[in-house]
Amino acid sequence: MKSVKHILARKGSNVIAVPAKTTVLNVLKLMSEKNIGSVVVTENDNYIGLVTERDYARKIILMGKHSDDTTVGEIMSNDFPKITPESSVDSCMLIMSENNIRYLPVFDKEEQLCGIISINDVVYETIHSQKETIEQLHSYIQST
């Protein structure tokens, strides 16, 4: 069974992070430039949460706030379930589905952030794993 470490090995463990005092507008520009849907929020270089496009839509637009005078620390989400590189891809898919979330922060044994995975990463890994299984079954059938 594939684990989160397989996803991180494929995509890397680099994350885009900004201090909590960064304005939402600047983070939106960064997300657009990098073509990403979430950014890690830090305080003193330590992970404190994630800000996502969903946070923007629900906590800025719908609340009548302005993205140029609101900080990401004010709207970030910090209640994501914690997973590790050893977590299975299947368990991540279940966590994401049950919690209706698109991103999961990955923490090592020392509770340090070591990556972020998205629902797209989980779907890609699942499809890739299924293709491998199909190829193995085809090989087995052809060899008998």
Residue tagged 């368990």 (tokens): 91
Helices of type H across the chain:
4-11, 24-34, 53-56, 72-75, 89-99, 119-143
Query: Which pTM value belongs to this model?
Result: 0.86
Residuewise pLDDT in 10s, the chain (144 residues) = 799 999 999 998 899 999 999 999 999 999 999 999 999 999 999 999 999 999 999 999 888 899 999 999 999 999 999 899 999 999 999 999 999 999 999 999 988 999 999 999 999 998 888 888 788 888 888 887
Q: Which DSSP string do the residues of 84-110 spell out, in sequence order?
A: -TTSBHHHHHHHHHHHT-SEEEEE-TT
